[in-house]
Amino acid sequence: MCLSKRVSFSKTFLFFSLTTLIIAVLMLSAVPAMSYSGGEANCKKTNVPIEIDGDLNDPSWLAVQADFDNQTIIANPQDWYQIKPKSGADTNDGGLRVSRGKVDNDADLKGVWMTIWDNDYIYFGFAISDDVVVEYQGPYDVRTGDTDSIVVIFDTKHDAPIKTFPAKQFDTGAVAAEVVNMPDDVFYIMTPITNRGTPAVFEGTGLVANAILNDPANKYAAAKKTATGYTAEMRIPWSIFTPFYGANLVPKSGMVMGFDISLVDSDPTYAAPVGAAMAWSSDFENDNSPSVLGELTIVAIEAPVTSKGKLASTWGDIK
């Protein structure tokens, strides 16, 4: 009798244990995790600092440009991402990656970018096709008006909640509305061509100048006009992310940040909204929403720095 009760108890205990385990697994699978919707890029290391002068002919850029020949910012989307046409509330003739304004062709607006890092900085290089380059006239403490810009966006801690993106087609505005930006979700807006001769760099939705990146004496940004638009460089010190970590951020191989780049073309030939905007991974409607950014992975692989060779034709008329 006692043995029968023990067996019965054991079966009951096993049943409840398995049930509890199944429930626990289901609960864990519903816990938010890290997930991003768009592009992926690796950032290799360099031991040769890049001179920030607006040119893209540094040996370090030559070493990694082949890695980024397909990291273009164009109107037609890459295979891994496509927004619903005209998702932006202010879109007049957009669709695909263009969520504001109109892009006629690659000559009107196209961007190619690359990145590399060292122990002090993360560097970004851009080659932008723009048939009408608008020069920013200031002021330089707070950005006003609409002008040609490059926006780099970070989810520094890579801690956005998971989202489901059905068939890679979705209303990005609705997705963005469900996500709250955290303090480590920051973006920097560079106006490359200005009447002071050096780019201006602003921060966040307030468009206030970033004291570190905006100071021309620090040489953190530079740009030059080309026959087809402009080229630009930007270096961001790792120390700028210290407030989010409570200590100096030390880049490590395998570290992943949510990341995106947006291009703004302030083209005076179009009626309001003037020009257009499009992004590498998301769309401009919500390019600062951490749930729709791409992923940038820091890798310890050292780029094979060389002074030989030249940038590919995808980089326009860069010499």
Whole-number Å distance between alpha carbons of 41 and 122: 14
DSSP-derived secondary structure for 223-256: EEEETTEEEEEEEEEGGGGHHHHTS-----TT-E
Whole-number Å distance between alpha carbons of 194 and 196: 5
pLDDT in tens, 142-174: 998 778 999 999 999 988 876 665 555 556 666
Helix (H) or strand (E) segment spanning residue 63:
helix 59-64
Q: What is the CA radius of gyration of the chain?
A: 23
Report the pLDDT averaged over residues 273-286: 69
Residues contacting residue 211 through CB under 8 Å, at least 6 positions apart: none
Whole-number Å distance between alpha carbons of 208 and 202: 5
pTM over 0.75: yes
CATH of 33-312, one of 2.60.40.1190, 1.10.357.10, 2.40.370.10, 3.30.420.40: 2.60.40.1190
Specify the DSSP class assigned to residue 56: -
Higher model confidence: residue 122 or residue 305? 122
Residues contacting residue 59 through CB under 8 Å, at least 6 positions apart: 48, 305, 306, 307
pLDDT in tens, 33-66: 233 446 789 999 998 889 999 999 888 998 888 8
Structure-block tokens of residue 274: 């003037």
